Amino acid sequence: MSVGIRHDDLRRRNRAMVIAAVRRAGQPSRTEIAATTGLSHSTISAISSDLIGEGILTESKPSEAGSLKRGRPQVGLGLNPEAAAVMTVVLSLNFLSVAVIDYAGQVIAEEQRRLDTLTMSRDALIGECTAIVRRRLEDPDLDVRSVARIALAIQGITDTHARAMLWSPITPHTDIAFADILEDEFGIPATMENDCNMMAIALRWRDPDRYRDDFIAILLSHGIGMGLVLKGELFTGTHSSGGEFGHMIHRPNGALCRCGRRGCVEAYAGNYAIWRNARQLGEDAEPVADVSDADMRALATAARERDGPEREAYRKAGEALGYGLGSLFALIDPAPVAMVGVSAAAFDLIEPALRKAIAQTAGGQHSKSISFDTEPNELPLIREGCAMRALTFVDQEIFAPGVQARAGSVGKNVA
């Protein structure tokens, strides 16, 4: 059950709030912070004075040259880039990418590597990850005083506590406790996140007007993934990262899915499924391991040129996505959707069937008003999401510590 609020929690929470306000607003003045947080000027003054003294925030002279106003000019508060750094590690099919990011959110170093994730041994996969992290940490060019947090992201299922990868399509191995492994190796707190959840977080930071309290990010890639923000919080399953939209059942006993089951949404809308249908291989055909982005783009071009099996394949994908979204909307009500990944570039081919299908569901009552946005490139989004997740952890747990972790409502998934 929820736990009492101690007197000392007060300061901690309000510190966290000031830091969060600065991270969101960019260069807010103390007065602006007071307005958005609802705290008094005196309190904000005291807290920001502390934070500046601790090197967490910095004062920056009025950024705008056009200071037309009369009185004492506002002085903006900004995040001190040198207060800390975080590292992101994104592990995707045959590709490993890390970045070091300063406290203000700027990338200060990165490194990428191709690897054969599908055939690598478990130890080799882990070894590559730790090695690349070590290289970045030991880079003498980089004055990385303090990497305070590492956030990993992987396609697939992670556990609720963001400690381990439970299953992933990019490797045959399961249950790898990446967070613990990195923490043991480097002594830096780490979390293991789901890629689509990070996409959702990144969208929220990129465009808070459009993606605020309720929205959906769907990854249209080899598999189908989803990141869901509801009521301002990242939605996760009770045991796992959850939100396995791609494995909702579209047609009982339908097409063969990569997961071994039948009729999943992914078995109609994943790249391999579109490929399979376009090649007319039949719904029982074994899913191929990978379809290159170039091949997918060729498929889309063919579908746009003539009415053939390619176009029909995209129609089926749209239908599956539409019915799936309709079922999802029956549960959560409609919300803006961002389509991310290679096939988002072919959304023109998918959309008509999708809208037709969704209109036939209870959740799609006002299907006209549901807005879709597309973003073909998922990797930058995932990286940004990881960075923001790691940075907000630092904001809260390192720069505003003091609340003992108790049973109950600990660790809200604030997106």
Partner DNA sequence: AGTATTTTTTCGAGGCTCGAAAAAATAGAG
Partner DNA sequence: CTCTATTTTTTCGAGCCTCGAAAAAATACT
Exactly one of 74, 130, 240, 413 binds DNA (CB under 7 A); which one? 74
25, 36, 46, 109: which one contacts DNA (CB under 7 A)? 46
Per-residue x/- mask for a copy of itself, residues 168 to 207, rule CB under 8 A?
----------------------------------------
Separation of CA 13 from chain center: 25
CA atoms of 345 and 339, how far apart (whole Å): 9
Question: Does residue 366 bind DNA (CB under 7 A)?
Answer: no
Applying CB under 8 A, the span of 34-42, 102-110, 147-155, 175-183 interacting with a copy of itself comes to 34-42
Q: How many helices and strands (H and E) does the chain possess?
A: 12, 14
Q: Which of 1, 20, 21, 41 binds DNA (CB under 7 A)?
A: 41
Q: How many CA atoms lie within 13 A of 18 on its CB side?
A: 32
Task: Give the list of residues 6+ apart from residue 213 with CB closer than 8 angstroms, or none.
Answer: 229, 230, 231, 232
Tokens of 172: 């045959």
With CB cut-offs between 5 and 8 Å by kind, which of DNA, a copy of itself, none does residue 121 bind?
Answer: none
Binding residues for a copy of itself restricted to 347-386, rule: CB under 8 A: 357, 360-363
CA distance 314 to 310: 7
Residue 45 within binding range of a copy of itself, rule CB under 8 A:
no
**Residue 328: contacted member of DNA, a copy of itself, none (CB under 5 to 8 Å, by partner type):** a copy of itself
Task: Based on the shown chain and the rule CB under 8 A, indicate whether residue 37 belongs to the binding site for a copy of itself.
Answer: yes
Over 250-303, what HEC string results? Answer: CCCCCCECCCCCECECHHHHCHHHHHHHHCCCCCCCCCCCCCCHHHHHHHHHHH
| Crossing angle of the two packed helices 309-332 and 347-359, in degrees rounded to 10 | 50
Q: Which does 258 bind (CB under 5 to 8 A by kind): a copy of itself, DNA, none?
A: none
Angle between helices 41-53 and 7-25 (to 10 degrees): 80
The alpha carbon dihedral of 22, 27, 33, 36 has a sign of: negative
The binding site for DNA (CB under 7 A) comprises 4-8, 10-11, 14, 29-31, 38-43, 45-49, 67-75
The binding site for a copy of itself (CB under 8 A) comprises 1-7, 10, 13-14, 17, 20-21, 24, 36-39, 43, 213-214, 230-232, 237-240, 242-245, 247-253, 259, 261-262, 264, 319, 323, 326-328, 330-335, 357, 360-363, 406, 409
